[in-house]
Amino acid sequence: MRTMGMRRRITLAGTATVAGLMLAACGTGGNETAKPKNEVPAAATVAPGDAKAAPAAAARRWKGWLVLSDAQTPTLGTIVVNGKGLTVYRFDADTAKPSVSNCSGACARLWPPVKFTKKLRLKGIPRSSIGNIMTKDGICQATIDGRPAYTYARDTAPGQINGQGIGGKWFAMAPDGSKAGGGLVPGPPGQGSYGY
């Protein structure tokens, strides 16, 4: 009898620990195993098809989804954009393995983290490369190939890449999580755009 009581307590304690790890990794649900440093594969629904609507109409259509797609630029080649057509960036002060965001507070207000949701609509980005982490500010942030993803507050319209090269640490992200264009900074530092 005593042995059964001890086993039950150990099992309950183990369950609480696993649940805590999952909550730390953006509350992804009970069917996944948490990885070290809060990196968890996205348990997501990937929407089929490719919407050809303008970015504003597409943003309304896919509200509540994490929408990421590839876009061609004349100077940087292929970059990642969000559902509003805004450029997605990476920060050289972050790490990918393990996934760690080093942008919080005022930094995260200027460089908002791309928020992770379980519903995904992807074009040109492998589903297997999408993950998530919990930031220091308590935001569930999407990662691409382990690299935390951001937008730039001063990109106010689709096609802008005004954050490219800022501080020598911020770069438009390619679909594999690397620096688009190898980190090239077109024209005046931090300025640029692409067409649709």
pLDDT, tens digit (0-9, with 9 covering 90-100), for 70-93: 999 999 999 999 999 999 999 999
Tell me what pLDDT residue 185 has.
Answer: 82
Residue type, 144: I
* Rounded distance between C-alpha atoms, residue 155 and residue 79, angstroms: 14
The answer to whether the pTM exceeds 0.75 is: no
pLDDT recorded at residue 59: 58
Q: Looking at residue 170, what is its pLDDT?
A: 97
Mention every residue, 6+ apart, whose C-beta is less than 8 A from residue 166: 152, 189, 190
Alpha helices in the chain (DSSP H): 2-24, 55-61, 106-110
State residue 140's pLDDT score.
Answer: 97
Instruction: Give the per-residue pLDDT at 95.
Output: 96
pLDDT at residue 64, as a whole number: 78
Report pLDDT for 8. Answer: 41
Q: Are 132 and 40 in contact (CB under 8 A)?
A: yes
Residues of the chain with pLDDT under 50: 2-24, 28-53, 189-196
Amino acid 9: pLDDT: 41
